[in-house]
């Protein structure tokens, strides 16, 4: 369900309209309608609408933190928060609004092809671009001085920057319930061979080794490719395959799909009905020992009152300890934004030291700025050192075309439902040409 919140950086606007539609199709979540909103306007001008998939989870409130940071410099600005609870909802909403040239003033995407597709809308060149370059609107030189070149290159076209990265997330991570591990004598998995041994210790307990939520099937790509394929074949192979340099049915990938199905045998059977947040709930409640998810899952554990290092732990997926698979939530400025000046001000806040500290402190994430290190969190400090050291391995959302990722995710879901790799291997064979 999509939510829209009106946040004044001088004052929280408490009366507003929420327009919801209860439609459901093809097993996807209910989505809000595209009805226009008539928000209360700030007396000094238009509000700034931003579209994200950052839901407020317990005390983790990224939008509230961003609003507070923005308040210090622009107290009259009003932010309209058009937040979707899940990324698929946000992307579907953005697609419809961009096609109608009625975009939000700024929106979130993942660094790389997920974000840059709004420049290469026709899949050929930038003639139909929906984005404005940020040079001259925000302090691009300051961003280039403070953020990794490899990151900003993902958001640059013909020398101009189009997006401001808000954070860095590591994807190849496991979260486990320390109480469950103690109760059943489990130890942290260091190799893939450890996983079936851990599962044997849970035999007959009613506790699943792995909690999975694949209602949005990108979580299956996270498990199968961004974690398992890299653990089995290494990051160089992963990048080569998804750059289109190999055969679609290359034997190591087919072997990876078989291993993926084996992993599903130790997961909850109802994963297709659950979101990743509900998978975290299974771990938090002790109904599952662990889950595979990006480091944004921290907020969901905190919502259960759990503390990292005491109640739960975060570790790299076995076999990927020295690999940093990353994505970055990135914000841009659409050409048809109603308030481009306000959006530019907000983008400046997002890229600033103050803005990054506020955002990533609220979300327990890494800053995309190298001059804003984490403080007082040993796990994040270790990840920050690995992030600075590199090399970084880009998540599929940034590495491959959206159409490819979406189709392969559905193929993996069908493979999981049938417990047969053929639906996934067929999709890879039929879509692999999109990578070349």
Percent of the chain with pLDDT over 90: 83
- Are 76 and 70 in contact by the 8 Å Cβ rule? The answer is no
Q: Are 318 and 334 members of one domain?
A: no
Assess whether the previous peptide bond of 401 is cis (omega < 30° from 0).
no
Q: Are 22 and 157 members of one domain?
A: yes
User: Alpha helices, DSSP H only, in 147-284?
Assistant: 149-153, 178-183, 194-201, 218-221, 230-233, 235-242, 251-264, 276-284
End-to-end CA distance of the chain, in Å? 36
Q: Are 36 and 125 members of one domain?
A: yes
Q: Are 223 and 334 members of one domain?
A: no
Alpha carbons 369 and 146: distance in angstroms, whole number: 5
Q: Are 236 and 108 members of one domain?
A: no
Q: Give the least confident one: 4-18, 64-78, 203-217, 286-300.
A: 4-18
Among candidate residues 8, 274, 25, 296, the one with its CA nearest the CA of residue 167? 296
Alpha carbons 150 and 134: distance in angstroms, whole number: 18
Residue 364's pLDDT is 86
Alpha carbons 262 and 344: distance in angstroms, whole number: 48
Range of the domain at 52: 2-167+330-375
pLDDT band at 86 (very low <50, low <70, confident <90, very high): confident
Alpha carbons 154 and 112: distance in angstroms, whole number: 5
Which of the pair, 109 or 9, is modelled with greater confidence? 109
Which helix H or strand E contains 207, and what residues bound it?
none
Mean pLDDT along residues 400-425: 98
Residue 184's pLDDT is 98
Over the stretch 97-113, which tens digit does the pLDDT of each residue have? 999 999 999 999 999 99
pLDDT band at 2 (very low <50, low <70, confident <90, very high): very low
Residue 58's pLDDT is 67
Mean pLDDT along residues 319-335: 97
Q: Are 338 and 420 members of one domain?
A: no
Concatenated DSSP letters of 280-330:
HHHHHTTSEEEEE--GGGHHHHHHTT--BTTTEEEEEPTT-TT-EEEE-EE
Q: Are 149 and 88 members of one domain?
A: yes
Which of the pair, 38 or 150, is modelled with greater confidence? 150
Over the stretch 125-134, which tens digit does the pLDDT of each residue have? 999 999 999 9
Alpha carbons 279 and 152: distance in angstroms, whole number: 33
* CA 273 to centroid of chain Cα atoms: 20
Q: Are 138 and 252 members of one domain?
A: no
Q: Is the pLDDT of residue 354 over 70?
A: yes
- Are 188 and 197 in contact by the 8 Å Cβ rule? The answer is no
- Within-domain flag for 65: yes
Two structure tokens written together for 323: 């690999």
Q: Are 361 and 229 members of one domain?
A: no
Residue 390's pLDDT is 83
The CATH number of the domain holding residue 147 is 3.40.190.10
- Within-domain flag for 428: yes
On average, the pLDDT of the chain sits at 90
Q: Are 214 and 285 members of one domain?
A: yes
Q: Is the pLDDT of residue 420 over 80?
A: yes
Q: Is the pLDDT of residue 41 over 60?
A: no
- Within-domain flag for 261: yes
Ramachandran region, residue 136 (left: φ > 0; alpha: ψ -120 to 50; beta: rest)? left
Place of tokens 């984005």: 131
Q: Give the least confident one: 26-40, 168-182, 360-374.
A: 26-40
- Within-domain flag for 311: yes
Q: Are 133 and 101 members of one domain?
A: yes
Residue 30's pLDDT is 32
Listed in sequence order, the residues at least 6 apart from 220 whose beta carbon sits closer than 8 Å to its beta carbon are: 214, 260, 409, 412, 413, 416
Alpha carbons 114 and 396: distance in angstroms, whole number: 9
- Within-domain flag for 385: no
Q: Are 279 and 346 members of one domain?
A: no
Listed in sequence order, the residues at least 6 apart from 429 whose beta carbon sits closer than 8 Å to its beta carbon are: 248, 249
pLDDT band at 4 (very low <50, low <70, confident <90, very high): very low
- Within-domain flag for 391: no
Alpha carbons 94 and 117: distance in angstroms, whole number: 12
Over the stretch 153-210, which tens digit does the pLDDT of each residue have? 999 999 999 999 999 999 999 999 999 999 999 999 999 999 999 999 999 999 999 9
> Residue 260 in 3-state DSSP?
helix
- Within-domain flag for 381: no
Q: Please tell me the total count of domains within the chain.
A: 2
- Within-domain flag for 388: no
Query: pTM score, two decimals?
Result: 0.88
Alpha carbons 307 and 332: distance in angstroms, whole number: 34
Two structure tokens written together for 166: 């808000």
């Amino acid at each position: 369900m999509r939510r829209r919140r009106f946040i004044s950086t001088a004052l929280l606007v408490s009366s507003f309209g929420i327009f919801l539609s209860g439609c459901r199709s093809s097993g996807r979540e209910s989505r809000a309608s595209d009805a226009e909103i008539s928000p209360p306007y700030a007396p000094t001008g238009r509000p700034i609408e931003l579209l994200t998939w950052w839901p407020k989870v317990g005390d983790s409130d990224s939008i509230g933190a961003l609003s507070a940071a923005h308040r210090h410099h622009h107290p009259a600005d009003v932010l309209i928060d058009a937040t979707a609870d899940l990324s698929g909802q946000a992307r579907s909403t953005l697609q419809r609004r961009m096609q109608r040239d009625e975009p939000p003033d700024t929106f979130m995407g993942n660094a790389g092809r997920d974000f840059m597709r709004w420049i290469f809308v026709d899949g050929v060149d930038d003639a139909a671009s929906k984005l404005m370059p940020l040079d001259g609107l925000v302090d691009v030189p300051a961003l280039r001085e403070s953020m990794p070149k490899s990151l900003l290159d993902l958001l640059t076209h013909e020398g101009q920057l189009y997006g401001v990265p808000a954070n860095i997330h590591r994807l190849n991570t496991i979260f486990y319930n320390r109480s469950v591990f103690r109760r059943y004598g489990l130890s942290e998995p260091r190799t893939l061979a450890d996983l079936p041994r851990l599962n044997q210790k849970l035999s007959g307990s009613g506790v699943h080794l792995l909690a999975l939520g694949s209602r949005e099937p990108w979580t299956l790509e996270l498990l199968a490719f961004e974690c398992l394929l890299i653990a089995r074949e290494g990051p160089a192979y992963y990048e080569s395959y998804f750059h289109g340099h190999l055969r679609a049915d290359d034997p190591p990938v087919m072997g990876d799909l078989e291993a993926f199905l084996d992993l599903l045998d130790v997961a909850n059977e109802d994963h297709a009905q659950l979101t990743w947040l509900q998978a975290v709930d299974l771990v938090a409640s002790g109904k599952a020992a662990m889950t595979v998810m990006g480091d944004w899952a921290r907020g969901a554990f905190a919502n259960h009152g759990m503390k990292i290092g005491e109640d739960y732990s975060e570790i790299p997926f076995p076999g990927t300890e020295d690999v940093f698979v990353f994505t970055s939530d990135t914000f841009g400025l659409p050409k048809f934004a109603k308030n481009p000046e306000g959006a530019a001000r907000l983008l400046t806040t997002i890229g600033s030291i103050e803005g990054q500290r506020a955002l990533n402190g609220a979300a327990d994430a890494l800053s995309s700025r190298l001059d804003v290190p984490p403080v007082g969190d040993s796990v994040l400090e270790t990840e920050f050192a690995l992030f600075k050291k590199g090399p970084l391995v880009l998540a599929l959302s940034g590495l491959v075309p959206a159409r490819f990722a979406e189709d392969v995710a559905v193929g993996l879901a069908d493979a999981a439902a049938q417990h047969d790799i053929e639906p996934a291997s067929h999709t890879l064979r039929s879509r692999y040409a999109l990578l070349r």
